[in-house]
Amino acid sequence: MFHGNAGNIGHRLPIARMLINFIGCNVFMLEYRGYGLSTGEPDESGLFIDAQTALNYLRSRAETSKHKLIIYGQSLGGAVSIKLVAKNQKDGDIAGLILENTFLSMRKLIPSVLPPAKYLTLLCHQVWPSESLIPTITSVPILFLSGLQDEMIPPRHMRQLYELSAAPTKIWKPLPAGDHNSSMLEEGYFEAISDFLENVAGVTSKEEKQRL
């Protein structure tokens, strides 16, 4: 599970608990460098290294090396997830990707969040080019969870990512009253994730979900 820019993994524990209790899957949470109690300075290359290291860790452990993996990312975590899956999809152990309220690229997001800075976007060193990476994901199904009242990232970013996606299966789940950080409270949120695991990732029983 890759969280957004605000807060740390501690703020996402209720979501993890719901995934464990409602769906019955295992959850691995990563704290990026520079967030929470992790040391270092966060930047695009560093966060990707953190994500790749976490994936390699799961692949190396006897308890999880044979498991199907579902990559889940919200907001900034969605950009991390897209980049991670794009680079690792051919290895065959990533069964699905879940994206929630993420953006096309940092340069396209800045004018929406801070309009006066729109003329300075080319100076932004954190690119996160999700719109160019997502069409390259052709081996992994994707679930798009979009809060249509997102006040931070315009919902059109998610819709455009969905339209750009070349995934073998892609599912669009709008959450009409969902905003940026509380879409998980909307009706159908966890049901959509459960259905995705069952119908797209081929997971039907609780025992199989516990191998995620």
Q: Is residue 2 part of a domain?
A: no
Q: Is residue 123 part of a domain?
A: yes
Number of alpha helices (DSSP H) and beta strands (DSSP E) in the chain: 8, 4
Q: Is residue 4 part of a domain?
A: no
57's CB contacts (< 8 A; 6+ apart) are none
Q: What is the pLDDT of residues 106-116, one digit of tens each?
A: 888 887 776 66
Q: What is the pLDDT of residue 199?
A: 82
Q: pTM for the complete prediction? A: 0.92
Q: Is residue 200 part of a domain?
A: yes
Q: What angle do CA 150, 23, 48 make, to 5 degrees?
A: 55
Q: Is 180 known to be catalytic?
A: yes
DSSP-assigned letter for residue 134: G
Q: Is 179 known to be catalytic?
A: no
Q: Quote the number of domains for the chain.
A: 1
Q: Is residue 83 part of a domain?
A: yes
Tell me which residue range forms the domain holding 30: 9-209
* Phi, psi angles (nearest 5°) of residue 174: -80, 140
Q: What is the pLDDT of residues 56-100, one digit of tens each?
A: 999 999 999 999 999 999 999 999 999 999 999 999 999 999 999
Q: Which of 145, 28, 163, 142 is nearest to 94 (CA)?
A: 142
**CATH code assigned at 165:** 3.40.50.1820
Q: Is residue 27 part of a domain?
A: yes
Q: Is residue 185 part of a domain?
A: yes
- Tell me which residue has tokens 């949470």: 29
Catalytic residue among 150, 157, 165, 183: 150
Using only the alpha carbons of the chain, give its radius of gyration: 16
Catalytic residue among 3, 146, 180, 183: 180
- Packing angle, helices 44-60 and 76-88, rounded to 10: 60
Catalytic residue among 75, 81, 146, 183: 75
Q: Is residue 47 part of a domain?
A: yes
Q: Is 43 known to be catalytic?
A: no
